[in-house]
């Protein structure tokens, strides 16, 4: 199982970030001429939160590289022995696969409204179709699911720290984005919030 994971986990990270972020961002830019990456460098809370996101991502990348290519060093990542069970790892991989499909689908359904960050310059449409009928934040929900699955597949102190930090950041960002959307869409967004849960 571990030998398979040494191949699967690095490929998954490449696929998730490649499909769910780079490719989707490229498509939006190609179709609209607008750069969907709108993370700012100001002192605003949303910019601060978004600029911290690389930390849990780097933690996952580093521990995955160490696990895949330096097995003897991986022991220093403090693996959680009682979770080192094949069925737990398989369940984790299942969550990861579903999360990738879910996230990519939600981004596709966002269409031209897809952004990384809060775009205060270009007004975007309020998306209420597809997965957005069951979750106000299906992309973040997909990311949370992927992180949980990743932790089950590779349980150690670093992946645990990464998912906890990422989840805290997402919880804060979602609320900041909701405040922005209330201001941008007014009553339409308030009505949407009454019909659809924040997560699922």
- Taking each helix axis from N to C end, the angle separating 54-69 and 157-185, rounded to the nearest 10 degrees, works out to 150
What pLDDT sits at residue 121? 82
What pLDDT sits at residue 50? 79
User: Quick one: DSSP state of residue 112?
Assistant: G
**Phi/psi of residue 116, nearest 5 degrees:** -110, 100
| Residues 6 or more apart whose Cβ sits within 8 Å of residue 43 | none
What domains can be seen in the chain, in order of their start residue?
2-195 (1.20.120.1630)
Could you tell me which residues are beta bridge partners of residue 79?
156
pLDDT digit string (tens) for the chain, length 200 residues: 888 899 999 999 999 989 878 888 888 888 888 888 877 766 777 778 878 888 999 999 999 999 999 988 998 989 998 999 999 999 999 999 999 999 999 999 998 888 887 877 888 888 999 999 999 999 999 999 999 999 999 999 999 999 999 999 999 999 989 998 998 889 999 999 999 999 98
Measure the CA angle with vertex 149, ends 147 and 153; round to 5°.
Answer: 115
What pLDDT sits at residue 44? 74
Q: How many CA atoms lie within 13 A of 108 on its CB side?
A: 9
């Amino acid at each position: 199982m571990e030998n398979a994971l040494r191949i699967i986990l690095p490929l998954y990270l490449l696929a998730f970030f490649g499909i769910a972020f780079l490719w989707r961002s490229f498509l939006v830019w190609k179709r609209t001429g607008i750069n969907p990456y709108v993370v700012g460098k100001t002192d605003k809370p949303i910019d601060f939160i978004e600029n911290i996101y690389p930390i849990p991502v780097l933690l996952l990348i580093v521990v995955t590289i160490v696990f895949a290519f330096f097995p003897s060093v991986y022991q220093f990542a403090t693996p959680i022995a009682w979770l080192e069970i094949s069925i737990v790892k398989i369940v984790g991989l299942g969550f990861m696969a579903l999360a990738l499909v879910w996230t990519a689908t939600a981004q596709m359904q966002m269409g031209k409204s897809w952004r990384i960050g809060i775009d205060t310059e270009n007004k975007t449409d309020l998306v209420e179709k597809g997965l957005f009928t069951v979750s106000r934040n299906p992309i973040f929900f997909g990311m949370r699911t992927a992180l949980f699955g990743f932790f089950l597949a590779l349980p150690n102190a670093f992946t645990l720290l990464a998912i906890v930090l990422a989840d805290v950041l997402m919880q804060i960002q979602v609320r900041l984005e909701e405040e922005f959307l209330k201001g941008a869409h007014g009553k339409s967004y308030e009505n949407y919030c009454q019909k659809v849960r924040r997560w699922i």
